[in-house]
Amino acid sequence: MEKSVEQTTQNLVDEMLTGLNFAQANPAQLSPLVLAYIGDSIYDLVIRTYLVSQGNMQVNKINRHACALVKAQKQSEMMGVLEEQLTEHELAVYKRGRNAKSYTSAKNASITDYRRATGFEALMGYLYLSGEYHRMMELIREALRGTGEIDEI
């Protein structure tokens, strides 16, 4: 029997928690910048996994496409698509991330794009740590569709 993406993701998370004896983090108790830190990683992993699933191609091409999809400007654009689709709670998590005082600055993005991207990453981190993988993937799919990056997944 074929496993669903949710089952596979849950198996991966279960293995991290038990196999390496990780403690379960409570996302409600984490700072928005910590949520953005893990959210950046999980979003990057989702995008890279998606691109690899599209078939064998040169790693350089995969990396360029991945970088274009994970940069602050693209994440900010995605939030423009998603904001009206968020629940009140998700919107609050996004705003906490967007408004967090970061001690780093945007390298290749405007301050506005950087802050919106931080909010996006905080939301992804919150959903990931909350085990809301289906919702996380639903939002990523809608954001990619809404920005014209994909037609259908």
Residue among 14, 40, 44, 151 flagged as catalytic: 40
Indicate if 40 belongs to the active site. Answer: yes
Give the rounded distance of the alpha carbon of 148 from its chain centre. Answer: 17
Q: How many CA atoms lie within 13 A of 5 on its CB side?
A: 12
Chain CA centroid to CA 21, Å: 24
Distance CA 18, CA 38 (A): 19
Burial 98-117 (b: 16+ CB within 10 A, else e): bebeeeeebeebeeebbbbb
Distance (Å, whole) CA 46 – CA 26: 22
**Cα four-point dihedral sign 7, 12, 15, 16:** negative
Instruction: Please identify every residue annotated as catalytic.
Output: 40
